[in-house]
Structure 1
């Protein structure tokens, strides 16, 4: 079933959008009129809020150079918190914006991104079908099977404004929103008990942000990890370069034993187990050498656990504006977290 449809050229009806400081302007590329965007992490929103339970977003998009990203925005809570799916030169990526920050370093792998042949240098069709339970992404004007299926949305499937987005130069035209019948996505999400069985730390406490010296008094926010086991600090704090937080988790172990602790993080970390420092590292976006994505098996260290109470504590610092987080697997099959 389809229903109402709203269409916008983008090159001659831009007054219907909140352009903000995006610098978006009418232009032309390869003989087609379009909207040109060139800033980093820049979104423009349709002024009228979408009230459909389920809807289809579609646009023609183009990445003119070797590097560029262009996408569709939906379910926007405000200008710094919204769902985003974008086309990159070699992939489709789900990248929910949280507190103004891109989070692709947290949401990586086949649940959140899919590889594509090189998409640059040509006009492409990008379609996202949104319903309260998730979204399906289609690439190309003849696609019948989705290129990416999301069975959960990180902002909770709240209805909100829609729009378009880019990072570095890109073109977009003929943006439309069409009401459709909701069809729930079929992919299942790992529950917390599954993550626990895989020995992830699933419960943390996150401090307030500090820029240099640790404050004498900390304020702690309890936080659960994401469905992929990553503690997403972007949900709690804005990721500003130079910012640091402390995170901690406490748990009981039945008997003394040694395991291999594995972890992934972004950007800079110091990690302590039972107040003894066991790891330091840096992992940032620095292509083509490193991509900065958080993977729980990025680093490993042997740890001697004591019987009874144990603790993990880390300092995580930002060097860039992207995903900020940590994933830890203890290797312990018999730990009990203490909230």
Structure 2
């Protein structure tokens, strides 16, 4: 195969890119010309779609200060939905943007992150190899991937627009898009049966309208959790400060039982079990004390479940415009979800 390659300096060929509201400008860092970005959660897209089925995205990147994030974008469906992998001073993070919002609070841990020594100030080669089912992430000249992504949250769509992304001051230069040989990555499907066996609530219904919109007659969208057991509200409602959504799940058990329910959430929650409020709290990004990431063992509540039908209902409120959602484990060994035939499938 004769590989095809496209190269963009990013400082003198910006007419090839849609800058949107990024405010990106040509600049210089450590004696190298580059594109400078400093706006939060801002993407710059190549105007032409990439037509390769298998390709490498590569660029030189630099983060000048202690806080900054610079990334590569692919599989963009539109300006608010795309795959993103970024370099931070001390980590690599997979952070798919969903309905305009970053979702790192939902996708964290070794399947999505790689810790690094401090990368501040220096130029680094950063690249992605996009294949069917996933992507491999490389840093510097290392031949072994720093991170392998086997679940792409936008469905593994390879074709579409690519680009660059930033959050706070950062630099990027010499973007290369290169066709590469096929080397498939076996995608991992979400195992809802396994999650259910671990007592996760795997099926939820999400209100069609935000509570503050005043809708009296809600319709409900059925939603399933992600591979880590978290319900990603971003897939249904755009995260914006002040937004509140209602979620619920109904299930049956064969005998009365007492367990400890555990949960994680972002950003604020009120939780009811069988109509009784059992928990409320706040958990959001507030460095250096709180990272705001959703973990199913963040809080716990003792619950006495009744024989037959049981219900969990929650009001989730958004404060930051990042990922929002929840993960709940009932502690029950067996439960049967009660389906509502009027639900919309998602």
* TM tier relative to shorter chain: over 0.9
Q: For residue 214 of structure 1, report the CA deviation from its aligned partner.
A: 5.5
Distance 1:213 1:173, change over 3 A: closer
CA distance in 1, matches of 2:194, 2:253: 19
Do the aligned partners of 1:94 and 1:112 also contact (CA within 8 Å) in 2? Answer: yes
CA distance in 2, matches of 1:236, 1:181: 36
CA distance in 1, matches of 2:2, 2:250: 51
Q: Counterpart of 1:311?
A: 311
1:205 aligns with 2:205: yes
Farther-moved stretch of structure 1 (204-213 vs 125-134): 204-213
1:324 aligns with 2:324: yes
1:37 aligns with 2:37: yes
Q: Counterpart of 2:156?
A: 157
Distance 1:13 1:33, change over 3 A: same
1:98 aligns with 2:133: no
Do the aligned partners of 2:135 and 2:150 also contact (CA within 8 Å) in 1? Answer: yes
Q: Counterpart of 1:146?
A: 145
Runs of 4+ that moved beyond 3 A = 186-190, 211-215
Do the aligned partners of 1:209 and 1:244 also contact (CA within 8 Å) in 2? Answer: no
5+ residue gaps, structure 1, are none
CA distance in 2, matches of 1:213, 1:50: 40
Alignment RMSD: 1.2
TM-score of the aligned structures, taking structure 2 as reference length: 0.95
SS of 2:216's equivalent?
coil
5+ residue gaps, structure 2, are 340-346
Q: Counterpart of 2:180?
A: 180
Q: For residue 215 of structure 1, report the CA deviation from its aligned partner.
A: 3.2
Q: Counterpart of 2:265?
A: 265
Q: Counterpart of 2:17?
A: 17
TM-score of the aligned structures, taking structure 1 as reference length: 0.97
CA distance in 1, matches of 2:32, 2:2: 28
Do the aligned partners of 1:264 and 1:295 also contact (CA within 8 Å) in 2? Answer: yes
Deviations 1:33-73 (A, max 9, x none): 00000100000000010011110000000000010000000
Q: Counterpart of 2:112?
A: 112
Do the aligned partners of 1:2 and 1:180 also contact (CA within 8 Å) in 2? Answer: no
Q: For residue 334 of structure 1, report the CA deviation from its aligned partner.
A: 1.2
Q: For residue 187 of structure 1, report the CA deviation from its aligned partner.
A: 7.0
CA distance in 1, matches of 2:66, 2:169: 10
CA distance in 2, matches of 1:327, 1:92: 24
SS of 1:278's equivalent?
strand
Do the aligned partners of 1:37 and 1:169 also contact (CA within 8 Å) in 2? Answer: yes
Q: For residue 182 of structure 1, report the CA deviation from its aligned partner.
A: 2.3
Deviations 1:171-220 (A, max 9, x none): 00000100112222257455111101111100000003435375321121
Q: For residue 124 of structure 1, report the CA deviation from its aligned partner.
A: 0.7
SS of 2:15's equivalent?
helix
Q: For residue 3 of structure 1, report the CA deviation from its aligned partner.
A: 1.2
SS of 2:234's equivalent?
helix
CA distance in 2, matches of 1:61, 1:286: 27
CA distance in 2, matches of 1:138, 1:209: 41
Equivalent pairs counted in the alignment come to: 338
Deviations 1:123-172 (A, max 9, x none): 011110111210010011x2111111111210012221000000000000
CA distance in 2, matches of 1:203, 1:181: 39
Farther-moved stretch of structure 1 (185-194 vs 145-154): 185-194
1:302 aligns with 2:302: yes
